[in-house]
Structure 1
Amino acid sequence: MSGILSVIGTGPGDPRQMTPEAAAAVSDAEVFFGYGPYLDRLALGPHQRRIASDNREELGRARAALAQAAAGARVCVVSGGDPGVFAMAAAVCEAIEAGPDDWRAVDLVVVPGVTAMLAVAARIGAPLGHDFCALSLSDNLKPWEVITRRLRLAAEAGFVIALYNPISKARPWQLGEAFALLRGILPATTPVIFGRAAGRPDERIRIVPLAEADAGDADMATCVMIGSPETRIVARPGRSPLVYTPRFSAPASR
């Protein structure tokens, strides 16, 4: 008899931002698969077993979790943020599609969570108040040429852009190149938000114009958000400024 496989996100890191539904899935599960730092966020009991793996072993982790669930276990696959945004839900679906028939019989539950761009946006106002998109700058699974084309088209279309996986030791140059590309399309005053560890004790939020955006201000714990030409900054004496994108869009010039 097949078991159940829940795919959850822990949220951006603040325990209060983990949803009750995700917490209930954790309480019900017996075996947990995930990247070690994400599993560390859970308070597991002595009857619950954790199996940690490297952050770049998503497909292998998904296969191991499905094998346990197909054997009848109550399994939980753990992501940060939301499991469906650049995270483990897609890897589990990919493994099911290519795997044995009994994996398709597993009761799969994907539990929505709070992704990083939502946490960053909430800390500064409402930059996602109008049309937006999310892009990963990692070229581990897609060519850099695809990333730059999508980035250029998103900027030309007027989307607010949230960048995930902006920089790493293996990819120290890509965010700087992305900023250079965007400076050729967007106004120099376009707000850029560096949102690191939003909601956690080590949170760092910085707002700068695109002309001054420095890739050195980001790391892999940072979500970088680039406003559209319509995104505004509202100064507030004695308080942090608000960044928001109006709900309406100016008519196109003819």
Structure 2
Amino acid sequence: MLYIVGLGPGSQQLMTQEAIETIKKVDTIVGYITYIHLVEDMIKGKDIVTTGMRGEIERSKKAIEIAETGKDVAIISSGDAGIYGMAGLVLEMAAKEDKHVDIKVIPGVTASIAAAAALGAPLMNDFCHISLSDLMTPWDVIKDRLDAAAKSDFVICLYNPRSKGRPNNLREALNIILKYKSEDTVVGIGKDVARKHEIDKITTIKDLDETEINMTTIVIVGNKNTYVADGRMITPRGYTL
């Protein structure tokens, strides 16, 4: 059996019980070295297969090969494996190569949900996820999605918002959003969510400091009704109070 496991955002306290039980029972763990470190105290004595950054295809192939031998193997992702994680790639590869292995996806807590809980309740009405990484998706497509989401006044969760190789994508994204939203729109920032040096901050589009944002940050841009009360970011669901 091949399990595709979402580890949650970083803390073992935010791992699902099913994810914990799956990691305990499998023979082999396959993962990016950073994710292996998140669960290293849980996987002693198991066979470990690791790769560096951008080794997703290699890891997927190896996990499928191990599962074909009859062993139980887990390939791990941070957050939820089905949200910018390994689930899609593994399933695509198994289908394309006609690999007849049993596969089960184990869900996890994605970064936007963990950040939202720390910030208050910003996702109480319709929201969407948009990754600002153009490694897999053309930047023009991302811009079109940003435009549509902002025009429709979604709460927008920005994944992979800024890196050394993409220092301007966040600013360009915010400029697109500002075509439809006020510069005073509330923005929540969750950095290293559920990890040792977590930072949670509420600001506005106007006052957002881009230098504080990196690839381990989730940026949540509110809708026109999102507000701050008692230090909490709140998007109303629409109840009459």
TM range (shorter): over 0.9
CA contact (8 A) 1:162 1:224 kept: yes
Deviations 1:141-199 (A, max 9, x none): 11100001100100110100001111122211111111122122211111111100122
- Show the counterpart of 1:89: 87
- Show the counterpart of 1:22: 19
Aligned mates of 1:188, 1:46 — CA distance in 2: 50
Aligned mates of 2:86, 2:233 — CA distance in 1: 31
Give the alignment's Cα RMSD to 1 decimal.
1.5
Q: 1:200–1:44: structure 2 CA closer, same or farther, 3 Å change rule?
A: closer
CA contact (8 A) 2:119 2:201 kept: no
Aligned mates of 2:44, 2:189 — CA distance in 1: 39
Shift of residue 46, structure 1, vs aligned partner: 4.6
Q: Aligned to 2:172, which of 177, 182, 199?
A: 177
SS at match of 1:207: strand
Aligned mates of 1:216, 1:181 — CA distance in 2: 19
Aligned mates of 1:109, 1:130 — CA distance in 2: 30
Aligned mates of 2:111, 2:31 — CA distance in 1: 18
- Show the counterpart of 2:187: 192
Where structure 2 has 5 or more consecutive residues not aligned to the other structure, the ranges are: none
Spell out the pairing of 1:81-230 with structure 2 (5 A cutoff).
Answer: 81-99=79-97, 101=98, 103=99, 105-230=100-225
Where structure 1 has 5 or more consecutive residues not aligned to the other structure, the ranges are: none
- Show the counterpart of 2:9: 12
Question: TM-score scaled by structure 2?
Answer: 0.95
Aligned mates of 2:202, 2:108 — CA distance in 1: 25
* Identity %, equivalent residues: 36
Aligned mates of 1:28, 1:109 — CA distance in 2: 14
Aligned mates of 1:107, 1:37 — CA distance in 2: 26
Alignment size in residue pairs: 239
Q: Aligned to 1:40, which of 34, 37, 40?
A: 37
